Structure 1
Amino acid sequence: MIPDSDLKEILPPSPITAPLATQVHSGIPIPKAKRVTIFSPDEWEAFIEEWASSLQQHYLKVRRFGGAGDLGVDIAGFCTTLGFSGAWDNFQCKRYDHPLRPSDIWIEIGKIIYYSFVGEYKPPRFHYFICPKGVGTTLEKLLNRPDALKTKAAENWDDHCLLGLTNTRQVTLDGDLKTYFDAFNFSIFSSRSTVEIIEQHSATPFHAVRFGGGLPPRFAPELPPDSPRSNESRYLRQILDAYGDHLGVTLSDVAALDPHVTLKRDYLRQRERFYHAESLKNFARDNVPEGTFDALQEEIYQGVVDICETAHTDGLARMKATMTQAAAIHAASNPLFPALKTQDRQGICHHLANEDRLLWVPGDA
């Protein structure tokens, strides 16, 4: 029988700090680097596709290759219009349940050497190995010693490359291929850590949705320029027509508002609202997936269209009632909600007016 002296009271450790409301709601956050290691195959594939979009700023063109005939190329970043005949970099994204080992890469090195030897492409400037669980210590040491990497690649050629490079024949490391192998620059082979990949992924619009953590701070919107831009022409014409409908006159341009101080102030507010929405649209482009702003615009439209199409005394009353309704729309389900302001909701109405989806004076389209 187990003596009582061997039994200890269960005493959970005291928290170092008071728990946050977000922890009570969602649990303790999983670090991003840890989360990547538990991605499913589909999640890893999607994550790599999202990350690859961040490479567009460094290369003229970025393309993803896959399937049995990838020739050792996974994600290629092209530096010139010459494609594989010019300077390019290769990113080999391998998904294993362990840190990348030397035995995992001999076939990949063999492909690069063999297919560049037969002229399928010029050797890449750099060839990076990427794995969700990172690169193991043994492999990392080899990647930092190109001569040792070459020696080990030669020793492992028969076991990994002899029958694995093509489906049609054996590829022996001898003759001209051996000469090419010996002269090959093995310093092109390197690795990228998961932390580096996540950092680059953070520059994409997919990051907040993939990892959470909220949206970055939003900069103040641009002030409307004195002279309206071409993309303002339609909604401004609609505003002037709404004022004209209210006054019972035709307003040819904004200068006609000078005698009407209250309307002139309203005109300036409406332009500020438009630029608020433009700012949000640009913010969405950089921080959330494509279509997020369009979804918000559609939600605003559905929330105001019935008010807009109701009978009103004049166009100005219709525009004012629509703006009031827009300001009351919550839109909490949209990923942009934390960054959303009243002026954005109202400015989106002018985006819709720019497309004639909202009309302040019916029949004016």
Structure 2
Amino acid sequence: MVLSISAAQLVCRYNFLSSVSTGGLRRPNADVNSLDLYYEIYMRSIAIRLQELDDDELEDFVDIWLHNRSALYYRTERLGKTSDKGRDVVGFVTDQLHEGDWDLYQCKRKTRGSKLGVGEALKELGKVFYHHLKGEYATLPRKYVFVSPRGITGPLQTLLLNKEKLRTALVDQWDETCRTGITRNEEVPLSNVIRTVIDAYDFTRITYLTGTLLAKETDAGPALSKVLNLVPDEAPEAEAPETVCEVEMVYLDQLREIYGETSGLAFTTINDVLAHPVHAGHLQLQRTRFFEAAAFDRFHRDNTAPGAMETFKKDIFHTVIEVYRESHPSRLDRVNAVMKHIGMTQVSLLGRMSRPPVRQGMCHHLATDGRLRWTR
């Protein structure tokens, strides 16, 4: 049975199952109920770790998470500081920035044993309406999200799940929560202008994320990796497609030239090599390795911290470059020597071991990039 699990969930599942392997529990086989149980237990532990983040770490987490959702945003930006004007992390939908659609993620760390309550939440909402009317941003947020890993109080949850009650509470409690809480230098009474903007705003845009909800968010993998130092599950294995793809042609053309040099034959196309009784098997093995590395690259770019995959590639390069530069009887011998060396030499990504075909295939990606040309 195949389970459909998000990037963040893959991160959590790997770490929990790895941690319990030394604690007397066995890794489940096809027992989906056991897997679900283990997963839920570990998700709770991730939520607890998110609760321990300080203010900067929490904003950093949200910023990385939004950055990984690049399909949703033209640009993301972390603004949280003393003069953030009610904005911690924002995602701009278009190049119109604050003159167009944008989403606001307001981070509330809270201390141990406390949750985000009604008064503080209403004050934050009041800031947005105030600074909008002051001209700090021409449009109000398309979506407003309270990010509170330690959770929200029952009364606040009731308001957030009943949006008209939230609107009414903001108006009724303005003097108590916003009048002296929005700025340090002046009182902000509930003027008719502010009331009009509040009445016109769609309060269904306002929602919240707790630690548990945030841990389960799609595309949270890189943020979990970067901020919590979590390592995702094993990347999926891959096979080379029957038809040669355009993305392969750079390194394959290099190998085609080398095979011709070795055999004394003029291979015009890759298919000519694939028809050769000796070189066909060798070439097909290299293709499989290339696609193993491609699957590894794509998986970890989606699920690890920015820059982790490029560091892995650099480590591969520095591991093989001396063997690559040595004298060899032929250029095919150079390829085989590099494959043998990297196949036996471990290179890890964020402390997690990589499989030999991934490391070997990454050398073909380096050849494609021009950093490790086989036809040098």
TM-score bracket relative to the smaller structure = 0.7 to 0.9
Preserved contact between residue 117 and residue 152 of structure 2 (Cα < 8 Å): yes
Matched, 1:355 2:372: no
Instruction: Figure out how many residues of one structure are paired with residues of the other and give that number.
Output: 338
**Partner residue of 1:309 out of 313, 321, 325:** 325
Contact map agreement 2:115 2:148 (CA 8 A) in 1: yes
Aligned residue in 1 for 2:146: 129
Match of 1:287 among 300, 303, 319: 303
> Alpha-carbon deviations, 1:286-330, whole Å to 9, x = none?
122232222222222222222222222111112111111111011
Matched, 1:36 2:50: yes
Alignment of 1:316-331 (within 5 A): 316-331=332-347
Counting only pairs closer than 5 Å after superposition, residues 59-98 of structure 1 correspond to structure 2 as 59-80=73-94, 82-97=96-111, 98=114
Q: Which has the higher contact order (CA 8 A, sep 6+)?
A: 2
One of 254, 276, 301 as aligned partner of 2:292: 276
Read off the aligned partner of 1:301 and give its amino acid letter.
F
For residues 201-232 of structure 1, the C-alpha deviation after alignment (integer angstroms, 9 at most, x for no partner) is: 65433334655675335333252452441x43
Instruction: Tell me: CA distance 1:209–1:350, structure 2 relative to 1, closer, same or farther (3 Å).
Output: same
* Structure 1 position 135, deviation (Å): 0.5
Post-superposition shift, 1:116?
A: 3.1
Aligned with residue 187 of structure 2, among 170, 191, 195: 170
Q: Would you say the 8 A contact 1:89–1:126 is kept in 2?
A: yes
**3-state SS, counterpart of residue 200 of structure 1:** coil
Structure 2 distance, partners of 1:255, 1:182, is 69
Pairwise CA distance, 1:182: 5.1
1:325-352 deviations in whole A, cap 9, x for unaligned?
A: 1110112x423744x3222121122122
Distance in 2 between the 1:141 and 1:201 partners?
25
**Residue 344 (structure 1) aligned to one of 342, 358, 372:** 358
Q: 1:327 to 1:172 in 2, by over 3 A?
A: same
Which residue in the other structure is 2:11 paired with?
none
* CA distance in 2 between partners of 1:184 and 1:337 (Å): 48
Superposition pairs of residues 124-203 of structure 1, within 5 angstroms: 124-166=141-183, 169-181=186-198, 184-200=201-217, 203=220
Query: Retained in 2: the 8 A contact 1:163–1:171?
Result: yes
Secondary structure in structure 2 of the residue aligned to 1:321: helix
State whether residues 274 and 347 of structure 1, in contact with CA within 8 Å, keep that contact through their aligned partners in structure 2. Answer: yes
Residues 115 and 121, structure 1, Cα contact 8 Å, conserved in 2: no
Query: Which stretches in structure 2 are left out of the alignment for 5+ residues?
Result: 1-18, 25-40
Aligned-partner Cα distance in 1 for 2:81–2:230: 34
SS in 2 for 1:206: helix
Question: Does residue 22 in structure 1 map to residue 4 in structure 2?
Answer: no
Task: Report whether the alignment pairs 1:51 with 2:65.
Answer: yes
User: Which 10-residue stretch deviates more, 33-42 or 116-125?
Assistant: 116-125
CA contact (8 A) 1:50 1:204 kept: no
Residue identity opposite 1:334 in structure 2: L
SS at match of 1:92: strand
Q: Sort the Cα spacing of 1:310 and 1:219 in 2 relative to 1 into closer, same or farther, 3 A.
A: same
Distance 2:272 2:254 in 1: 14
CA gap of 1:202–1:306, structure 2 versus 1, over 3 A, is same
Q: Percent identity?
A: 28
Contact 2:90 2:104 in 1 (8 A): yes
CA distance in 1, matches of 2:146, 2:156: 10
User: Is 1:334 the counterpart of 2:334 in the alignment?
Assistant: no
SS in 2 for 1:261: coil
Give the match for residue 3 of structure 1. none
Structure 1 length-normalised TM: 0.78
Instruction: Check whether the contact 1:300–1:329 (CA below 8 A) recurs between aligned residues.
Output: no
What letter corresponds to residue 315 of structure 1 in structure 2?
A: R
Separation in 2 of the partners of 1:35 and 1:258? 52
When Rg is computed on C-alpha atoms for both structures, the one with the higher figure is 1
Could you tell me which residue of structure 2 aligns to residue 300 of structure 1? 316
Matched position secondary structure for 2:349: coil
Aligned pair 1:234/2:250, yes or no? yes
Paired residue for 1:112, among 113, 124, 128? 128
Q: Structure 1: which 5+ residue stretches go unaligned?
A: 1-18
* Post-superposition CA distance 1:153-212 (Å, at most 9, x none): 345434543344346643222343344445555454432222221111654333346556
